[in-house]
Amino acid sequence: MDYILSLLIWLPIIGMIVVAIIPREKEESIRITAAVTTGIQFLLTLILWYDFDSQDGSMQFKEWAEWIPSFNIAYHLGVDGLSLPMVVLTGLLFFIGVFVSWNIKKAVKGYFALFLLLNTGVMGVFLSLDFFLFYIFWEVMLLPMYFLIGMWGGPQREYAAIKFFLYTLFGSVLMLVGILGLYFACGKTFDILELTRIAPLALDGMLWWGISAIKVIWVLLFIGFAIKVPVFPFHTWLPLAHVEAPTAISVLLAGILLKLGVYGIIRVNYGLMPDGVYWFSTALAFLGLINVVWGGLCALAQKDLKKLVAYSSVNHMGYSLIGMAAVVAAGEANGLNMKAAQAGLGGAVFQMFNHGTISAMLFILVGVIYERAHHREIEGFGGLASQMPVYTGITAVAFFAGLGLPGLSGFISEAMCFIGAFPVFKGIVIASTIGILLNAAYFLWAFQRIFFGELNDKYSDLPEINKLELFTVIPLLLITLFFGIYPSPYLDIISSTMDSIINHVISLSTYASM
Amino acid sequence: MDMHIQYSLFILFLPLLAFLIQIFFGKRLPRQGDWVSISAIFTTLFFALIMFISMLTNYNPDFKQEASFVWLDMGEFQIRLGFLIDNITIIMLLIVALISTCTHIFSIKYLEDDIRYSRYFAYLGLFTFSMNGIVLANNLMSMYMFWELVGVSSYLLIGHWFEKKSAANASKKAFLTNRVGDIGFFIGIMLIYNAVGSFAFSDVFSGVSSGLIAGTTLTIAGLGLFMGAMGKSSQFPLHIWLPDAMEGPTPVSALMHAATMVAAGVYLSVRIFPILTPDALLLVAYVGGFTAFFAASIAITQSDIKKVLAYSTVSQLGYMILAVGTGVYTAAFFHLLTHAMFKANLFYGSGSVIHSMHHALHKKHDHHTDPQDMNNMGGFKDKMPITYWSMLLSTMAIAGVPIFSGFLSKDAILAGTLSFAQHNPQHFLLAIFGFGAAAITAFYMFRMMFLTFHGNPKIPDLIDDIHESPKEMTGPLILLGGLSFFIWYTLPNYNPFSTYGWFTDLVKPMNAVVPGNMTAEEIEAGAHHAHYLAMYVSIGVAAFGIFLSWLFYIKKGLSAEVWAKRWGFLYDWSINKYYFDENYDKYIYQPTLRLAEKIAWIDWELYDKYFINGFGRLINWVSKISGKIDYDFIDQIIVDGTGKAASLFGRTFKKIQTGKLQNYVLYVTAGVIILMVIQSF
Amino acid sequence: MDQLNNYLFIAAALFSIGLFGVMTRRNGIAVLMGVELILNAANINFIAFSRFGGMNLDGHIFGLIVIVLAAAEAAVALAIVINIYNNMNTINIDDASTMKE
């Protein structure tokens, strides 16, 4: 299992080639190929989880090979506690995504080929430790996404796809500039681990056009990642892309692709520019607050259920941002509050995972009702609770998970984010607790309008959620419930890595002692 | 493991097990599985009774058992969850188990033909589980978690008949109003954790007493926690949800919205009492006192039998909060105990009446008459004797008639309030709130009894179909009616005017850990001192209230209609609940929704359409311009222009290519001459 | 010096006459005669400059070359004229314009 990471990345490509060989009429075998490929990948991620040494906060399962030596570019892979849960989540959601898209009728072959290509891109981003490789996978992800939204989406799909593409490309161009800046400023290497060691010292005090180089690179990279998160004010591509994308793609978009933003900020910005963390932390927490409140209010006003769920993502990622900012609590200026830093960063990373499962669940459930009623207008339903009791029950759990009910995983991570950020950003945290109320308001109000009241006669023969759909939702539901009751397995995996990130940021920041 | 901890585990998880069985298999089981829930709750009651009996046999006021485990571990950041079992816990566990058992039994008949019968019992299980979780919590974090879970079970049960829009609205309102309180609760938790570094009550108390958190921060933290209590216990201004929660089935109202869930706020206040600063306590007292008086003044005019009881509950909870605020928090807990019994009983009684009304109306195929409206009742006394007598006992208890339980607990609270007012004369209003509310309570409770059971039937042809309820419903009525007598709470003493007994022996007030507070002894001495005065006054005001009620509704010496007209605006305010719902709707909900819509509009129509897309359009425009420059200028003018110029040149100079040799020679010569001329200069 | 001027004047006159002949005559033979005049004007200049400019025999040699050249030229040119005449029945050079587009 020395090459397990490479296997994880390239397995979908093999699947894609197989899909490409199968004649287009044999749709069933194409689907099965995709399911088998992602299934094996998911199993491999579980093996990875099992073999992972949670005591070790550094990179594991490393792979290194020379690639373009003249530019110091290497094929460098590795996994740590930050990326491992995301890798497992990727495996799970792509596997589930195949079944969510089982009923795709249009150009099945093309769909699954692109789907598997997307899988490679996402996996690659999480596993690569070389900036050049990272960037390539980052872009590989973009293209299939464009086609998947643009060809299999809703009525406004072309507009949504081009908007998504341009918006994200804008971000990745800034990111590329940032990466090149780092490359030239830090001794011409793309290796992330090496940069993590070199950059904090090399960038220290370096000025570009009179501005600190750290700030310039930080902002460039941050915008690149922030668009993916999405951080207000870079969020408006999200509702549109979600509304227009087919269900499975919405699931992946919300479940994994948004996480790449947070992952990137922690891996790159935090790792390479500890000074920047200090400089930016208040802004980060403040952006989190805006995400929470703005996303919550927007969600409250939505009439389209899918758009509501999309804005809830904006709202939920806000908690993550607030939690991330808490890292600075461990600094000397804030009284070496390691507790808060652990709670905050751990909460942020946990929230990434929880939002991945919860929002995936929500989007699948929206897809279920859309497939039956052919619309998503919240006001257009009513009284479905008596018609579809099982669906209602599952949706209730998903909504309650979304509004942060204790006993479901979302609560723990939100609470950890708040508790962690509180010692440093009291005002911001207190202001953002309003999000607790907003979450409940928009979810419960939507729930009432869809499920409560007299049954709408139009829907008196709406079929109950079927077995295939149950198969896609139940695993996510169980994960949400399991981590809600017993979060330790997750936190054990990440805690060593969180500690090493916190220590790295704190020990290498010149601000820390100020 | 200690026996208490073991039993607590059973008490906590048996109802959860019942919930899980019911939710997944309930429909397929015989009798829709109600026996699963009922046997689970009986086992719970059994364990609670054993613990209670062992408490009585031990007779140790300092009894305390604690157990906890690491639930979440990030290295330095840890959350430990666990149990804290002391006498207060045991009493509370018994209350929950007892009332929950009664509710289960009562519901068998009350919801006999309900379409979601098994679901209903499942939710009862979930509620009992979460309520026991609150009771057993030894730390703020798990208390908060179960706190929210209680909110959910309340949401589910209030919305049991979700086809009715009012029920769906009420459930949502209950949850959201509670969440407002929970925000405060959570902020309080964060403030305390930030200072103390632990969630456990014992660590918090020792942290406060060692000064890790003090002053304004502690006041704010305490008030934050109290805000959670305000939400759950429906205190002004978060009282609006409880009356609406009456949309739920009546046994649920008895269990959650009278006896246990709403008492959780009081329970929390009792638990955190040692860390409340004098400033915080004062605000607590005012909130409680005002709520007691204010809710009572609404209850006077309500005609819906459950609404009367709902406002009465709000008012009684206000009493308990008032007691916490004035320092006699054991009295608050005592009132919680007695109130749980008699108020649950009153709700069962009203449920019995409503059930009977419902069947009578159903027989007549009358679906318009409101079975809960007291204006449709009257003269039920002989038709439903058990219900009547049982309710009468509980009414006496709540009105504060001696020899009944409510007299003692209310008297303890009023004594504490009076003593507080004597010590701090500037806060005399608290005593007025207390005694005023007592008078009003006696009045409206007897008004309810008189309107329902006495006088002539308002709908005469209905009275023949009114029957006593089946024994599943009268059973709890008889049991809890009997528990309205004082004797159960003062054994082994039997002086009806003194609270001394097992309760006062076993539940001893703790000293506040906040410097500047009065000590427990001082408070108790003051209350003892004020005891007799308070007793006389409270008997006086209760008698006055009952007499007035008799005068209005039995003797008809005074006409309610005339008085209502005479005090027109007060009557109008009271019957409309001081327009709280309307004003909240007008000034909070609607503006919030409008704000949300505005924000969404800004986000989507303005920011996205004009700014983001505008950015796109700008790029588009720039690219068009640059395209124009590229094609029209560079390509068309410069590049093509060069070619054109060359071609023009050629065309022009072609003309001199005559092909005549001599012309060329002439040009050459001319050229030479011109060159020579130029050269010569 | 006057002597040189005299030669130059004669040569210039001769050149001008030759040039005039080349430019105005339509008869091919006459044009050739003009060319001969021009060449001989050049010859006079060569000899004159050689004589008065202190150059030894350079001018003379060039004069001889020019004469040879003139003879060759006359031979080739007359052959062309005869060919034109044979083909076109004319020796008017303006009529020989078949190469014009």
Cα angle B127, A381, A247 (rounded to 5 degrees) comes to 90
Has residue C29 been placed in a domain? yes
Confidence of residue B510 (pLDDT cuts 50, 70, 90): confident
Mean pLDDT value across chain B: 87
Q: How many domains does chain C have?
A: 1
Q: Give the distance from CA B633 to its chain's centroid.
A: 73
Confidence of residue A512 (pLDDT cuts 50, 70, 90): very low
Confidence of residue B514 (pLDDT cuts 50, 70, 90): low
Q: What is the interface size between A and B, counted as CB pairs within 8 Å? A: 140
Helix/strand/coil percentages in chain C, nearest 5: 80, 0, 20
* Of A383 and B520, more confident: A383
Q: Give the distance from CA A342 to its chain's centroid.
A: 20
Is the pair A, C in contact (3+ CB pairs within 8 Å)?
no
Could you identify the residue written with the tokens 């210039």?
C12
Residue B257, pLDDT > 70, answer: yes
Residue A92, pLDDT > 90, answer: yes
Residue B301, pLDDT > 50, answer: yes
Task: Give the closest of C22, C94, C100 to B665, CB-based.
Answer: C22
pLDDT digits (tens, 9 = 90+) for C31-62: 888 888 999 999 888 888 888 877 778 888 88
Comparing alpha-carbon positions, the chain A residue that sits nearest to B149 is: A406
* Residue B385 bridge partners (DSSP): none
Residues in chain C: 101
E-only strand ranges, A127-221: 207-208, 211-212
Is the pair B, C in contact (3+ CB pairs within 8 Å)?
yes
Chain B residues 116-175 with a CB less than 8 Å from chain A: 141, 144-146, 148-149, 152, 155, 159, 162-163, 165, 167-169, 171-172, 175
Please give the average per-residue pLDDT across A322-338, as a whole number. Answer: 83
User: What's the gap in Å between the CA of A104 and the closest CA on chain B?
Assistant: 30
φ and ψ at A461, to 5 degrees?
-120, 30
Least confident piece of the model among A250-254, A271-275, B338-342: A271-275
CA atoms within 13 A on the CB side of C5: 2
Residue A269 contacts residue A276 (beta carbons within 8 Å): yes
Predicted local confidence at residue A511, as pLDDT: 55
Residue B329, CA distances (Å) to B84, B293, C7 in order: 19, 19, 146
Please give the average per-residue pLDDT across B220-233, as a whole number. Answer: 92
Has residue C7 been placed in a domain? yes
Predicted local confidence at residue A204, as pLDDT: 77
Residues in chain A: 514
Burial A195-217 (b: 16+ CB within 10 A, else e): bbbbbbebbbeeeeeeebbbbbb
In the three-class reduction of DSSP (H, G, I as helix; E, B as strand; rest coil), residue B83 is classed as strand
Query: pTM for the complete prediction?
Result: 0.86
Predicted local confidence at residue A1, as pLDDT: 62
B72 sits in which H/E element:
strand B64-73
Comparing alpha-carbon positions, the chain B residue that sits nearest to C26 is: B662
Q: What is the DSSP letter of B249?
A: -
B660/C23 touch (CB, cutoff 8 Å), yes or no: no
Residue B534 contacts residue B418 (beta carbons within 8 Å): yes
Residue A408, CA distances (Å) to A203, B20, B152, B511 in order: 43, 16, 12, 37
Comparing CA positions, the residue from A235, A237, A477, A456 lying closest to residue A364 is: A477
In the three-class reduction of DSSP (H, G, I as helix; E, B as strand; rest coil), residue C50 is classed as helix
Comparing CA positions, the residue from C25, B18, B582, B163 lying closest to residue A386 is: B163
Residue span of the structural domain in which C29 resides: 2-88
CA atoms within 13 A on the CB side of A405: 27
Residue C34: CATH number of its domain = 1.10.287.3510
User: What's the gap in Å between the CA of B664 and the closest CA on chain C?
Assistant: 9
Task: Give the closest of A297, A420, A433 to B595, CB-based.
Answer: A297
User: What's the gap in Å between the CA of C22 and the closest CA on chain B?
Assistant: 7
Has residue C93 been placed in a domain? no
B603/A342 touch (CB, cutoff 8 Å), yes or no: no
Chain B residues 13-52 with a CB less than 8 Å from chain A: 23
CB atoms within 10 A of CB B57: 8
Cα–Cα distance measured from residue B132 to residue A401, given in angstroms and rounded to the nearest whole number: 22
Least confident piece of the model among A89-98, A128-137, B598-607: B598-607
Residues in chain B: 681
Task: Give the closest of B659, B660, B662 to C22, CB-based.
Answer: B662
Task: Give the closest of C23, C93, C99 to B666, CB-based.
Answer: C23
Has residue C94 been placed in a domain? no
φ and ψ at A388, to 5 degrees?
-125, 70
In the three-class reduction of DSSP (H, G, I as helix; E, B as strand; rest coil), residue B370 is classed as coil
Cα–Cα distance measured from residue C18 to residue B252, given in angstroms and rounded to the nearest whole number: 136
Which residues are within 8 A (CB) of B37 and not within 5 positions of it... i.e. 6 or more apart? B15, B18, B22, B104, B121, B122, B124, B125
B669/C94 touch (CB, cutoff 8 Å), yes or no: no
Burial A149-183 (b: 16+ CB within 10 A, else e): bbbbbeeebeebbebbbebbebbbebbbebbebbb
User: What's the gap in Å between the CA of C32 and the closest CA on chain B?
Assistant: 12
Burial B665-674 (b: 16+ CB within 10 A, else e): eeeeeeeeee
Could you identify the residue written with the tokens 């703005």?
A294
Could you identify the residue written with the tokens 């699948």?
A364
Residue A513, pLDDT > 50, answer: no
Cα–Cα distance measured from residue A412 to residue A358, given in angstroms and rounded to the nearest whole number: 13
Please give the average per-residue pLDDT across B484-500, as a whole number. Answer: 83
C60 sits in which H/E element:
helix C58-88
In the three-class reduction of DSSP (H, G, I as helix; E, B as strand; rest coil), residue B236 is classed as coil
Q: What is the CA radius of gyration of chain A?
A: 22
pLDDT digits (tens, 9 = 90+) for A490-510: 998 888 888 888 888 888 776
* Residue A74 bridge partners (DSSP): A66
Helix axes A131-152, A192-202, angle to 10 degrees: 110
Predicted local confidence at residue A510, as pLDDT: 64
Q: What is the interface size between B and C, counted as CB pairs within 8 Å? A: 17
Phi-psi region of A231 (alpha: psi -120 to 50; beta: other; left: phi over 0): beta
Has residue C54 been placed in a domain? yes
Could you identify the residue written with the tokens 């004009």?
B610
Copy the structure tokens of residue B345. Answer: 């009983």
B76/A385 touch (CB, cutoff 8 Å), yes or no: no
Predicted local confidence at residue B531, as pLDDT: 81
Copy the structure tokens of residue B121. Answer: 């019992």
Residue B355, pLDDT > 80, answer: yes
Q: What is the DSSP letter of A455?
A: P
Could you identify the residue written with the tokens 């999309």?
A310
Q: What is the DSSP string of B415-480?
A: HHHHHHHHH-GGGHHHHHHHHHHHHHHHHHHHHHHHHHHSS--SSGGGGGG--PPPHHHHHHHHHH
Phi-psi region of B247 (alpha: psi -120 to 50; beta: other; left: phi over 0): alpha
CB < 8 Å to B596, chain A: 297-298, 300-301
CB < 8 Å to C19, chain B: 665, 669
Residue A339 contacts residue B76 (beta carbons within 8 Å): yes
Can you give the residue ranges of every domain in chain B?
Answer: 1-185+235-260, 279-508+520-575, 583-672
Amino acid in the structure at residue A312: S
Cα–Cα distance measured from residue B590 to residue B584, given in angstroms and rounded to the nearest whole number: 8
Residue A228 contacts residue A299 (beta carbons within 8 Å): no
Predicted local confidence at residue C100, as pLDDT: 61
Percent of chain B with pLDDT over 70: 99
pLDDT digits (tens, 9 = 90+) for B259-296: 888 889 999 998 888 888 888 888 999 999 999 998 99
Residue B515, pLDDT > 70, answer: no
Comparing CA positions, the residue from A481, A406, A475, A487 lying closest to residue A440 is: A406
Which residues are within 8 A (CB) of B418 and not within 5 positions of it... i.e. 6 or more apart? B431, B434, B530, B533, B534, B537
Percent of chain B with pLDDT over 90: 27
Cα–Cα distance measured from residue A188 to residue B600, given in angstroms and rounded to the nearest whole number: 46
Amino acid in the structure at residue B285: A
pLDDT digits (tens, 9 = 90+) for A410-439: 899 999 999 999 988 889 999 999 988 899
Cα–Cα distance measured from residue A350 to residue A346, given in angstroms and rounded to the nearest whole number: 6
Copy the structure tokens of residue B486. Answer: 């004082």
